[in-house]
């Protein structure tokens, strides 16, 4: 074979999957690599894949922790399907993650960890690095443990301390592979270990050792690549996860409306991060109340709403079920409660760390009586910020409880967030009743139908509300037949009228064509990538991604009628499609459903769409 010139290949996008034992520091390595890529102008999205077990046994498949980053020179919509580079720090992580590696991809392993006992624990009968089973991949067998110890020998570190820096070796290799500098990591180490210069030095040496080692490996040297900077809008950026973005969006709504933020919540995967994030911000007057259960979480938030706060409760599926009765109370008392449901696989406890879109029908219909609520679904980690802000804004201005649906995938995933200015976000003006005004609890604004918010402590507004049906305008307890029917329709109409303020539903693609792909919530990135791919191939495919579920945008019927065929793709057994069929019975909907606790892949979507395009 002729010698290959050592040249840098330009690539549009790359997916790297970091995996190792829980203690191998793969989350940090992945984050540092991602941050380096972000600082050098790449767009990206990440997703951590950690085990549900807190400290699963060492070197077992159950104890493997993963982190995937997808970075590129164009807009990145997802954390990627299959990876171009897989880091496997031990046999178990290779075992658990090989299925995520593209054929022909590079697998970097720490060959020193492929000891008999570790391979046995991972379930390998023979050494996969030697038995030819990886012949479809470029396997780099790096003696990472040995070279790491070597690199720090002069610093007098013992083997155990030295091994803690192994992840820096891997990071160094990757930085070389993708033509990135080590400066960002240097700065990070200097800040992180400010009090321990030896540790800083050790990590820097290991990082450099990895970087230099990569240059000597033929398989790497020949494929050094560079992903040019993406053309992103000018501005200031940061990286943010969906759950943090949700917390911040709610805080932004609190600041804009001048209403104190009260969160009543009970820890539940994958929503707990929102409670943890909000708990940090006492400095901004945020009041978090870790309740004794899900019911106390929501009812305390309802109490706070009654008292004039932006009352919020955060949860996931099983907790959402427990809150159902209280949501009805928020509907009938017409208070601006915000419920965040970070959806996970169900039913019951299901698969807590896995994502699904299974709670849509519950959000729409899961309460006794006629109990409509505003429902908005966030479509990406960054969109969690804006969707949370908007959910709170409409709840406050229209005096209705509202549900924000996100999911575990976008909750844990991260994206680059162009930092908004608070001045650029819309004002939020809740209809607060003036002191000593002629207040009636259920008198409504003639346009929005919102009732006024009379806050306890205000002079001249004493009144009573509650779970019993009340008379229109006056708010007296009533079982009058006509009044109940009137109030039922008023509560519904109030929510429906929010559609007047929603932007029109857009179609990504031509105004008409052969196949319209409909999706909602956290799947936007995958579906958009698939549609873009087909459009580039010249196919007449469009994408309508719904953020507003209840009410639907006003032009929804028009959008759904614009293409010859409509397919609804969602991560459940067909819930949004049922809702659309109820509302638009004249339209024929095809379905593409997946209920595996995993996101869509672009490949399976394009396959399905191609198949639908070919069918009569």
Rule CB under 8 A: which residues touch another protein? 35, 38-39, 41, 232-239, 248, 251-252, 255, 260, 262, 264, 281-285, 287, 289, 291-293, 295-296, 299-309, 311, 325-326, 329, 333, 419-422, 456-468, 476-477
Q: Least Å distance between CB 344 and another protein?
A: 24
- In 3D space, the residue among 596, 191, 246 whose CA is nearest the CA of residue 417 turns out to be 246
Tell me the pairing of strands 13-21 and 64-72: antiparallel
Q: Least Å distance between CB 506 and another protein?
A: 26
Phi then psi dihedrals of residue 405, to 5 deg: -100, 120
Q: Least Å distance between CB 39 and another protein?
A: 5
Q: Note whether 598 and 523 are within 8 A (CB).
A: no
Return the number of the residue (222 or 324) whose C-beta is nearest another protein. 324
Beta bridge partners of 342: 406
Say how far apart CA 103 and CA 113 lie, in whole Å.
23
DSSP state at residue 345: B
Q: CB within 8 A of 419, min separation 6: which ones?
A: 235, 236, 237, 238
Q: CB within 8 A of 5, min separation 6: which ones?
A: none
Return the number of the residue (104 or 457) whose C-beta is nearest another protein. 457
Q: Least Å distance between CB 70 and another protein?
A: 18
Q: Least Å distance between CB 65 and another protein?
A: 22
Return the number of the residue (456 or 511) whose C-beta is nearest another protein. 456
Q: Least Å distance between CB 233 and another protein?
A: 8
Say how far apart CA 115 and CA 121 lie, in whole Å.
10
DSSP state at residue 368: S
Return the number of the residue (422 or 582) whose C-beta is nearest another protein. 422
Return the number of the residue (49 or 277) whose C-beta is nearest another protein. 277
CB atoms within 10 A of CB 309: 19
Q: CB within 8 A of 613, min separation 6: which ones?
A: 514, 515, 539, 541, 565
Say how far apart CA 187 and CA 561 lie, in whole Å.
55
Tokens matching residue 33: 């690599």
Return the number of the residue (325 or 493) whose C-beta is nearest another protein. 325
- In 3D space, the residue among 217, 230, 113 whose CA is nearest the CA of residue 174 turns out to be 217
Q: Least Å distance between CB 67 and another protein?
A: 17
Q: Least Å distance between CB 331 and another protein?
A: 12
Return the number of the residue (367 or 547) whose C-beta is nearest another protein. 367
Where does residue 375 rank: exposed (0-12), middle (13-18), buried (19+ CB within 10 A)? Answer: buried
Return the number of the residue (38 or 550) whose C-beta is nearest another protein. 38
């Amino acid at each position: 074979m002729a010698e290959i010139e050592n040249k840098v290949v330009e690539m549009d996008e790359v997916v790297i999957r970091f995996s190792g034992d829980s203690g191998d520091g793969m989350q940090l390595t992945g984050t540092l690599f991602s941050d380096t890529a972000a600082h050098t102008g790449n767009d990206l999205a990440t997703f951590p894949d950690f085990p549900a077990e807190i400290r699963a046994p060492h070197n077992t498949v159950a104890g493997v922790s993963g982190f995937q980053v997808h970075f590129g020179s164009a807009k990145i919509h997802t954390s990627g399907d299959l990876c171009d580079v897989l880091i496997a720090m031990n046999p178990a992580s290779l075992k658990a993650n090989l299925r995520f590696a593209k054929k022909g991809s590079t697998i970097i392993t720490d060959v020193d960890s492929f000891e008999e006992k570790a391979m046995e624990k991972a379930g390998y009968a023979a050494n996969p690095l030697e038995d030819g089973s990886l012949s479809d991949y470029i396997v780099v067998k790096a003696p990472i443990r040995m070279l790491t110890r070597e690199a720090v020998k002069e610093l007098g570190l013992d083997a155990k301390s030295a091994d803690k820096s192994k992840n820096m070796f891997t990071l160094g290799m990757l930085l070389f592979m993708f033509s990135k500098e080590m400066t960002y990591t240097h700065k990070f180490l200097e800040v992180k270990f400010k009090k321990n210069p030896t540790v800083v030095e050790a990590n820097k040496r290991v990082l450099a050792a990895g970087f230099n080692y990569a240059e000597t490996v033929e398989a790497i040297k020949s494929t050094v690549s560079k992903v040019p900077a993406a053309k992103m809008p000018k501005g200031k950026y940061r990286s943010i996860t969906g759950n943090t973005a949700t917390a911040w969006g709610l805080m932004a709504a609190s600041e804009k409306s001048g209403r104190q933020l009260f969160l009543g919540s009970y820890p539940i995967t994958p929503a707990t991060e929102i409670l943890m994030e909000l708990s940090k911000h006492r400095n901004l007057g945020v009041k978090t109340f870790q309740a004794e259960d899900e019911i106390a979480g929501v009812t305390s938030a309802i109490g706070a709403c009654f008292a004039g706060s932006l009352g919020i409760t955060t949860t996931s599926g099983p907790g959402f079920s427990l809150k159902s009765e209280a949501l009805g109370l928020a509907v009938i008392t017409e208070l601006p409660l915000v419920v965040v449901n970070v959806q996970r696989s169900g039913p019951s406890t299901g698969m807590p760390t896995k994502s699904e879109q299974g709670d849509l029908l519950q959000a729409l219909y899961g309460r006794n009586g006629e109990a409509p609520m505003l429902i908005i679904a966030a479509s990406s980690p960054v969109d969690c910020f804006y969707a949370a802000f908007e959910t709170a804004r409409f709840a406050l201005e229209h005096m209705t409880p509202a549900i924000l649906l996100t999911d575990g995938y976008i909750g844990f995933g991260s994206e680059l967030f162009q930092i908004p200015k608070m001045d650029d976000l819309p004002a939020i003006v809740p209809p607060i009743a003036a002191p000593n005004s002629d207040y009636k609890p259920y008198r409504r604004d003639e346009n929005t139908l919102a009732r006024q918010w009379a806050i306890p402590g205000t002079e001249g507004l004493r009144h009573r509300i509650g779970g019993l049906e009340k008379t229109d305008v006056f708010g007296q307890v009533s079982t009058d037949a006509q009044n109940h029917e009137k109030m039922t329709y008023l509560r519904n109409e109030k929510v429906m009228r929010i559609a007047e303020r929603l932007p029109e539903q857009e179609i990504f693609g031509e105004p008409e064509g052969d196949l319209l792909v409909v999706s909602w919530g956290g799947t936007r990135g995958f579906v958009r990538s698939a549609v873009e791919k087909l459009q580039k191939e010249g196919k007449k495919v469009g994408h309508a991604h719904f953020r507003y579920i209840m009410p639907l945008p006003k032009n929804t019927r028009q959008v759904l009628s614009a293409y010859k065929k409509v397919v609804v793709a969602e991560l459940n057994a067909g819930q949004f499609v049922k809702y659309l069929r109820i509302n638009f019975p004249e339209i024929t909907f095809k379905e593409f459903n997946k209920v595996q606790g995993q996101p869509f892949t672009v490949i399976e979507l394009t396959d399905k769409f191609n198949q639908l395009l070919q069918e009569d």
